[in-house]
Chain A
Amino acid sequence: MAHAYTPGLKVTECTNLRVRRILPISGSVHVEKGQDVQAEDVVAEAQIPGNIFPINLANLLATAPAELQNCMKKEVGDRVEIGDLLAESKGIFGFFKTQYHSKSAGVLEAVSKITGQVILRGAPIPVQVKAYVTGKVIDIMPEHGVVIESTVAFIQGIFGIGSEAYGPIAVACETPDEILRAEHIKPEMSGCVIIGGARMTNEAIAKAVEIGAAAVISGGIDDQDLKNILGYDLGVAITGTENIGPSLIITEGFGDIAMAERTHRLLCSHTGHAASVNGATQIRAGVMRPEIVIPLDQTHSSDTIDEGVVEGILEPGVTIRLIRDPYFGRIGQVATLPSEPQVLGSGSKARVLTVTCENGEEILVPRANVEIIAD
């Protein structure tokens, strides 16, 4: 049968989502298996070894590195506070001594006889991991983290910036093809996950920053606007650490593009519900897409288990989106999948399919340029 695999983005009304919440290094887990947790509960915590402060003490005391040990006023392993006397040179006949008072706090970790360098280790840096999604703890990895399961509505975006954010859903654009403008964003949307329609404008984002929105979700964004917001031209699609205020997620792509109707309808149906959002995107081997997770109340249940991996079969009748110019953003259904490669307008030969668009037009596109819209 003429079919091929192609990854798509997940947009689902009800699924069981499992999220792994793991510490970067071993630490302690604060919850128990079977416990119900809220999205913003801290479930695990660790202490990352503190920053290192190297001090070239032999130079500062004008002494030979080999002599430094005799000048030290603190032992390796001792706690040092800012202003503490760390070392004192022997001087000449007991006079003209040079002292060094520590400019950093920490624990004395090493004194080098060769280079005369002293290493102070600062206080450990706490790292907390939140539950991210309201749900139940179904597994514990001692000292490392937890797995939380929750029945949710789950929507993957195509690109985002900013990290994890939480807030109730507030709809700003009533239709998916409406451009999200500044006037759509009201002061009462402060702390909310704002749902737009088509492209989000520069002014709308500025307004969202001003009122303190948690996140803004819309169909597209102009690259020039993204550059203005970030202050630089984004070169590599590895995001998540930006700090512009709200996290931003686009569901379809760059440019003037409407949000998929199904996505918009699903988001609007959850107006007022709490959502967890993550704008982090990594487009590399091991791709990571931004997401909107809306936990459903307990009356819902789902048989499907979703761990974020989506794969579909490209076959006649499947609904797809065209993801490359000249038809970028159009939605249609696969009509046929010819097995022989065909010559494209560019002159290249590629495997193709025919698509029946929503307006009834039938067009030929390379298979590489379509994306299945998950059911």
Chain B
Amino acid sequence: MPVISPDEINVILATDCGSTTTKAIMIEKIDGHYRQTYRGEAPTTVEEPAANVTIGVANAIAEIGELAGRKLLDENNEIIRPARGNEGCDIYISTSSAGGGLQMLVSGVVREMTAASAKRAALGAGAIVLDIIASNDKRKPYEQIQRIRELRPDMILMAGGTDGGTEKHVVQLAELIAPAKPQPRFGSEYRMPVIFAGNKEAWPMVRDTFDDSVELSQVENVRPILDRENLGPARDMIHDLFLEHVMAHAPGYDKLIAWTDAPIMPTPGAVGNILKTIAEKSGINAVGVDIGGATTDVFSVFDGEFNRTVSANLGMSYSISNVCAEATMPNILRWVHVDMDERELRNRVKNKMIRPTTIPQSLEALIFEQAVSREALRLAYLQHKEFATTLKGVQQQRTVGDLFTQDSGGNSIVDNMKLDLLVASGGVLSHAPRMEQTAAMLIDAFEPEGFTRLAKDSIFMMPHLGVLAQVHPQAALEVFERDCLIYLGTCIATAGKPVPNKVAFEYRITGDITAQGEILAGELKRIPLAADQEARVSITPHRKLDAGNGKGQSVEKTVHGGTVGIILDGRGRPLLVGGETGYSRQDVSQWVEALNLYENESLVSSK
């Protein structure tokens, strides 16, 4: 890899090799600032007949070359470097989730403690966690072994025991994993990488338990003491082994590794990286979501603490039927304001599952799909909140006042009132015909409280920027701020249950626009405020509601606009829709109207 000073980097090429599509972007230094200028895409070529990922990469880059009028590939289809005049680029970087991404098995002694830390390390590195084996997971040893044998992970992360803590349980786990000999996905030549990140004193015994059929390595303990996690070394080792072993077995990756100027990262790991960088740099709390066909990833940074979860079977095509099974049809239909036949919908859901590439043609189909997405996002966020907790097992100082709150630690660190930025990406959110629809899906599913800025990833370039942040943080930040996000606007909502027919809050807006008024319980209102505009908004909530300063207390903040503007939400939190006590279909119709979500005439003609 050529060594180049960041100041001399003027043209950057980045690709993200997804399971189906390879997406390439070009970033150029224009007038002293880095800007994303062109993008291209091509089908990913890891499967037969091409069976070489670099062919898809070259095709995507060739498309950029054509659009930009710049020669990026030489006669051997290799990337030209460094940039000279109207040719080549200075650095090339890439992420990958082709072939199903990185699939891992993790283990730990106590499911809620060391095993949870191991899971956090694996998820943070961008892996899909297939299962967690723990001494207390309520399965019998032979059931655990059976499970290990059934799974075909790419890698195993073993935690367990604090340093100086239990050795016996750690070795016991090793004794389950070693004879089970999990079969990797890549055939008999592949030696399964096993990372040990547990009690360092148990390491010699763990080492003796395994034979040379696995690639065993040790890193620092992910949980050296109960009240501290140390996930960095395990994450780094996962990334190294991902490159050395998993990627090396994927067709054409040896060549791709040779092309890149920075290590290839798993796609979700890169997305997490950029979100973390942005949150740190701007001093904000942020949540990002990427809803795909098969899975939904949620990333969060609260008070500098990063968490990521992947909900493996919540998605909008391959997994749509699973969303309906988990959420149940009544919960999906509560978001629908027009009549639909449940039997017919069940068949439509299955038809989407078996033919996942189809798109909604009628408005009715779009309304239903967006209702499903609300539930998929809601469930994924719920899983995320349950996972992103303070460390469990930590002794806490209690006062007399705490006697009645039986917390055992492990409270969610996700706090919607503290959330500053909510970023959306993935087909159903990014390709919604109206930005108002994207904003409505985000608000209904995530239920932000207080003042929350909403945005969407314009062309899903967060993975590219995540890996760029490793080599050129300044370029990554500049592009993120200028080109990556499309701001939808700001949602302002109060927490608590509003009193029916009473005012939920009063508002007063000054600055680029002026307005004032009242929002009734259950009301939604949109006030246009363009992306380049700012306004000072003052909120005075009802005495039972909280806008961020406590019940009934006024809050005043500067808010930014966007394609949708300011959304004033008087529906309360938690948002109760459907059932006997929640908002009715008539209320949902009013929200649809208030945000101008759908064209009513089209609905009539489509029915």
Contacts and interface: CB of A to CB of B under 8 A. Distances in A.
Interface of A: 26, 49, 51-54, 65, 109-110, 112, 114-115, 117, 119, 121, 158-159, 222-224, 226, 233-237, 253-255, 281, 283-286, 323-328, 344-350, 365-366, 368-369, 371
A237 B344 CA distance: 19
User: Interface SS of chain B: helix, strand, loop or mixed?
Assistant: helix
Residue among B205, B358, B362 facing the most chain A CB atoms (10 A cut-off)? B358
Interface in B170-195: 171-172, 175-176, 179-181, 188
13 contacts: A52-B180, A65-B168, A236-B313, A236-B321, A281-B354, A324-B358, A324-B360, A325-B351, A326-B606, A344-B360, A344-B362, A346-B433, A347-B366
B99 A285 contact: yes
Contacts of B338: none
Interface in B352-408: 352-366
Interface string B290-325: 000010000000000000000001000011011011
Contacts, number: 168
B: interface residue count bin: 35 or more
Interface string B1-26: 00000000000000000011000000
Interface in B552-607: 598-599, 602, 605-606
Contact of A237 (B180, B321, B343, B366): B321
Given A53-B142, A325-B348, A121 B353 contact: no
B433 A112 contact: no
Given A236-B321, A253-B351, A52 B361 contact: no
Contact of A223 (B141, B172, B179, B350): B350
A54 B359 contact: no
B434 A51 contact: no
Given A223-B343, A323-B355, 20 more contacts: A51-B142, A52-B180, A112-B209, A114-B167, A223-B349, A237-B321, A281-B354, A285-B20, A285-B100, A324-B351, A325-B351, A328-B348, A344-B359, A344-B360, A345-B606, A346-B433, A347-B433, A348-B433, A368-B358, A369-B359
Contacts of B361: 324-327, 344-346, 365-366, 369
B356 A348 contact: no
B47 A346 contact: no
B481 interface: no
Interface in B191-205: 205
Interface of B: 19-20, 47, 99-100, 141-142, 145-146, 167-168, 171-172, 175-176, 179-181, 188, 205, 209, 294, 313, 318-319, 321-322, 324-326, 343-344, 346-366, 431, 433-434, 598-599, 602, 605-606
Contacts of B205: 114
Residue among A119, A328, A344 facing the most chain B CB atoms (10 A cut-off)? A344
B318 A284 contact: yes
B95 to A, nearest CB: 17
A31 B181 CA distance: 30
Contacts of B347: 222-223, 253-255
A143 B353 CA distance: 37
B325 A368 contact: no
Nearest to A286: B47
Contact of A350 (B175, B346, B359): B359
Given A345-B606, A348-B360, A366-B359, A237 B353 contact: yes
Given A224-B346, A347-B366, A369-B361, A283 B318 contact: yes
